[in-house]
Amino acid sequence: MYKLQFLILVLILSVSCKEDKPKPVVVKKDTPPIEVKKEYVINDSISGYINPKLGLYSFKFDLADYKLNKIKIYCVGKLVQTINTSKDVLDNELKLTDWDFDGYKDISVLYNCGSGGCAYWIWNYSPRLKKYVYNAVLSERLGLEIDSVSKYIVFHYRAGYQEESWDTMRYVNNKLVFVKGLFRERGPEWAFFTRSKMVNHKIVTTQDSCLIKDLKPDEDQRFIR
């Protein structure tokens, strides 16, 4: 009887010792994060109606390593023009914009953009030739802007806070003609304006200045518009 009780006591003690045994601590080693290389994903095609009278146009851009090599142009699925080129591009900003306000949307590809403004590669659609033609006047011009409401092309130059200018042009008979301009210089407390405007085929220039505190909000933009 006593032997049986002794065996049961030994068994209980052995089980309790096993349960009280501390579990080994697993130390996780810090592993460096895996670097995932982000690929430069670009949108290489656009489509749309460039004019209500024409069918659906599609544009396929051959882009590689920030270089535009070729543009294939389709009308209703049929290849109608191929533009071979070699142009540096900043990003995949591909647009259809009517730069010359003739009712036909033009090809616009972002070339560069910085503190002085943006520049584009532009091909205008020619209804006479029924194809796109490179616009050497507007292309690569830093600070190019469009006012589609007043139908102006604006060359907006910025040289920091001190100097800024606007040359406003309009298309007349497929040629850009000067309409008006503004050159602004700023000092610590004053602003100096040189304004020019075409009057009777002559450029009339006026100059004035004012204190910065008296400068009305958007005064420059009102003059341009």
Can you give the pLDDT at residue 37?
Answer: 44
Mean pLDDT by 10 residues, the chain (225 residues): 54 53 52 46 82 96 92 96 94 90 96 88 96 96 93 88 89 92 88 90 89 68 48
End-to-end CA gap in the chain: 112
On the 0-12 / 13-18 / 19+ scale of CB atoms within 10 A, 199 is: exposed
E strand map for 98-189: 106-114, 117-126, 131-134, 144-147, 152-159, 163-172, 175-186
**Three-state secondary-structure class, residue 16:** helix
- Specify whether the CB–CB gap between 108 and 118 falls below 8 A: no
Can you give the pLDDT at residue 1?
Answer: 52
- Specify the pTM: 0.73
Strand partners, 209: 192
**Three-state secondary-structure class, residue 77:** coil
Can you give the pLDDT at residue 8?
Answer: 57
Measured CA to CA in angstroms, residue 198 lies from 143, 180, 202, 203 at distances of 22, 6, 5, 4
Sheet arrangement for strand 57-64: 45-48, 57-64, 67-75, 78-88
Alpha carbons 108 and 145: distance in angstroms, whole number = 12
Give residue 120's identity as a one-letter amino acid code: Y
Can you give the pLDDT at residue 97?
Answer: 95
Can you give the pLDDT at residue 225?
Answer: 47
